[in-house]
Chains A and B, each alone.
Chain A
């Protein structure tokens, strides 16, 4: 059977697959919306990759 042909299984499971797809899109939208809301609130925006974290970096004494 060629892979381009729609199997009966695809039709039968369309509703289920659509539900899963919409749930995943919804979840992604929530994470995005939450990120925007947190940034607008002024939440901590420390980077965790390849940059020093201010809150755990020991203070450096400067010589006068």
Chain B
């Protein structure tokens, strides 16, 4: 009797969600990227925003991104459970029910949009609402399991935060905001397809139509190069707008040359060679892609700093 009671207690404790599990539903790693890019979008805008309003705007843009993450985990629980990379997420791990994830996602969506509207303007709030809708409905529910271009579509959702940050400050969309959007949008396919090349079994087992599965690995390598070539003019073009300066332009030239070389190397590689060295080039390209985005937005911030100190 005593043993049975003890076991039940332990099982309940193990299966019960902790606060951290609800945080995991919000995809904190994705949120950190959203915080950074939205912050840059807000700070490089030519309109001064009071620190408290700026802090609130960034917080609720991040929370909105987190809400869409929870909605994604609600809908994708079945395939998350199949893939090694996502099997330990709270819903497939049985710590949080799918209904709870849905409820959290919907409530946080409403709160984040309302609070961003009250803190800044309703144009920014509308754009945040559209971003959540785009990621949760257009990408997750509709197109992710339908087309191998799913990564391109999902990339659009990830590209909105700097634009939302910009609109929160200025109240309108401009060329600079569109190019910041374009930078993340064009960067996402090579970034994720490089990951798909060395995590091949996961997507295949989950039956997600990843480009590597539907069109083959050689075509994926070709698409990585195509999107990287298309990314370069967007990244350099941003360097000639009012938000950029010498730091950004210098960084963009170097980073894009390295990225282009990496994409070229991936395209030239035969699958057998890649397998032989455990996808060393693809893994290096994927790691560099993280620095690539971080340094581009970091350079924009550096130029904004130089301008505010009257040095550029």
Seen from chain A, the residues whose Cβ lies within 8 Å of a Cβ on chain B are: 8, 12-13, 15-16, 18-20, 30, 33-34, 36-38, 40-41
Q: Known interface pairs A8-B9, A12-B13. Does A37 touch B19 (Cβ–Cβ under 8 Å)? A: no
B9 to chain A, nearest CB (A): 7
Which residues, 1 to 58 on B, are CB-close (under 8 Å) to A? 9, 12-13, 16-19, 22, 50-53, 56
The count of residues in chain B whose C-beta lies closer than 8 Å to any C-beta of chain A is 17
- Classify the secondary structure of A's interface with B: helix
Across the interface, which residues of B come within 8 angstroms of A18, CB to CB? 19
A36 and B52 form a contact (CB under 8 A): yes
B52 and A37 form a contact (CB under 8 A): yes
A34 and B18 form a contact (CB under 8 A): no
* A37, B50: Cα distance in complex, Å: 8
Q: Known interface pairs A12-B13, A41-B50. Does A34 touch B19 (Cβ–Cβ under 8 Å)? A: no
A23 to chain B, nearest CB (A): 9
Q: Known interface pairs A30-B59, A34-B119, A41-B50. Does A19 touch B19 (Cβ–Cβ under 8 Å)? A: yes
A33 and B19 form a contact (CB under 8 A): no
* A16, B56: Cα distance in complex, Å: 24
A49 to chain B, nearest CB (A): 18
Across the interface, which residues of A come within 8 angstroms of B51, CB to CB? 37
